[in-house]
Amino acid sequence: MKIIVMKFGGTSVGSTERIREVAKRVEEKVQAGYKCVVVLSAMGKTTDTLIDMAKELNPHPSPRELDMLLATGEQISISLLSVALHQLNLEARSFTGWQAGIVTDAVHGKAIVSQVKSEKLLSSLKRGEIAVVAGFQGVTDQGEITTLGRGGSDTTAVTLAAALSAEYCEIYTDVTGVYTADPRVVGQAQKIDEISYEEMLELARLGAGVLHPRSVECALTHKVNLVVRSSFEKVPGTWIKEQDQMEESLQVRGIAHDLDVARIKLLGLPNKPDILAQLFTALADAHINVDIIVQSEHQTDQIDVAFSISEDEGEAAKKVLREKQNILGFQDMLFEGGLAKVSAVGVGMMTRPGVAANMFACLSEANIAVKMVSTSEIKLSCVIDRDRAIEAANRLHDYFGLGADAKVSV
C-alpha cells in the first residue's frame, strides 16, 4: 500500500468551510492512488477555550480530568471531517487516539508515546477507508486518557507515519513552509526548500513553532520524510529529510527566537560531586525541562549554578527548589523572568569558524546584553532581555545574509 499521513492543525480545521477544503485535499490524494491517514488538531481555539472553562471552575484542575476534557476537542474535528468525506462519497472512519492504538506513559499533559498498535488502522486502510485520527492524545496501559502537550498532533502524525511505514508525512499549517526566521516578525525571512532533520530539530527546540520538536526527533529516528506546506495555498512546501551534501549548506540556515525564557540562579551550593545530579534530578522528577546551564566556582567549598527554563514553569521550579533547599543546601535563589533566547542554526557551523564571533559582534553593535550562552555543533543560542528579542532576530537575520539575496535551499 502507498500510505501517506496528512496532518492538519487547528487553523486548518477552524470552520466547517475549512473542513470542506481539507476533505477536498484528502480527496486529491486518494485520487492519486494513496491510502490516507489524516491526523487532526482541535478546531481553532477549542483547546484554549476548554482550558479557560476548566480554570474558571478550578484554578488548578486535576491533570487527569484536564486530559479527559481536552481530548474531546480533537474528537469533534475527526467526526466532522469524516462526515465531510462521506459527502464526497469517500469511505472514512474516525479514530480517537486510543482507538488508533497510540499507547503513552502516564504523565498527564506531557505524555510520551511508547507504542503504536497499528492493526486497526491497517485494517481500515485495507478496507479502502480513509483513517481520520485524533491528534494530541493516547492512552496508558491502564486505560487512562492522556494528551501529548502543545503541538502533540505533529508527534501523532509522525509517529503513525513511522509505525505504518508511510512514504511521507505532510504537515499542513497556516504558513507555506519552514522559513529562515519567523516571517511574522522578520520581514525578510525566506522559505527554505529543503532542510536536514538536525537543523529542523534545533530550530524547533529553539522556538520555531512550525513543528513540534518531538515530531522531528521521531522523524529523525525513523527516517520519516516530512513536508511542511500550506493548507490554504497550493505551493511547494519545505522538505525535512536526510541530506547528502552538507558541505554545501550555508554557515547559518535559520534564526529562531523563544520569548518564554526565565533564569534561576542558586547561590552557595555545596561543592561536592553529586550536587548537580541531585539538583537536576529534582527538577526532572517534576517534569521541568532545563535548557542552558552555567556553573561558577567562587569558593573552594561552594559553587553558584544558573540555568534557564520556560517562564511558564517558573513557579513550579521555584516550588520544587524551596522544598529541596535543606537537602541541596544552597544559600539563596534568584529568579529572573522577562527573558528570551535568540539562536543561529546551521550544519555549516561544523566546518566554518566564526559564527560565535559574528553573533556576539552583531548583538554588541546593538548594545544587546548577553546573559547566558549555549552552543552545539550546529547552533549558538544567547539569552537576552525579552524586549530586545525581535530586534535581535532581525539584526542576526540580516547579519548572516539570510534575506532575499541568500541561497536558502540545498
φ, ψ dihedrals at 335, nearest 5°: -120, 130
Facing residues of 336 across strands? 263
| pLDDT reported for residue 409 | 36
Q: Which regions of the chain carry the CATH code 3.40.1160.10?
A: 3-174
Work out whether the CA dihedral 375, 381, 385, 391 comes out positive or negative: positive
Q: Which regions of the chain carry the CATH code 3.30.2130.10?
A: 255-399
| pLDDT reported for residue 408 | 38
> How many CB atoms neighbour CB 319 within 10 A?
12
One digit per residue, pLDDT tens: the chain, 410 residues? 899 999 999 999 999 999 999 999 999 999 999 999 999 999 999 999 999 999 999 999 999 999 999 999 999 999 999 999 999 999 999 999 999 999 999 999 999 999 999 999 999 999 999 999 999 999 999 999 999 987 899 999 999 999 999 999 999 988 899 999 998 899 899 999 999 999 999 998 888 878 888 899 999 999 999 999 999 888 999 999 887 544 445 678 899 999 999 999 999 999 999 999 999 999 999 989 999 999 987 667 899 999 999 999 999 999 999 999 999 999 999 999 999 999 999 887 766 778 889 999 999 999 999 999 998 888 999 999 999 999 999 999 999 989 865 443 33
Mutual angle of helices 355-365 and 389-399, in 10-degree steps: 130
Distance CA 294, CA 300 (A): 17
Q: Which CATH number fits domain 255-399: 3.30.70.260, 3.40.640.10, 3.30.2130.10, 3.20.20.70?
A: 3.30.2130.10
pTM over 0.85: no
Q: Is 50 exposed, middle or buried (0-12, 13-18, 19+ CB in 10 A)?
A: middle
Is the domain 3-174 a CATH 3.90.550.10 member? no
- Residue position matching grid coordinates 480517537: 96
> Which residue, 86, 97, 163, is CA-closest to 136?
97
Q: Distance of alpha carbon 400 from its chain centroid, rounded? A: 25
Distance CA 185, CA 9 (A): 21
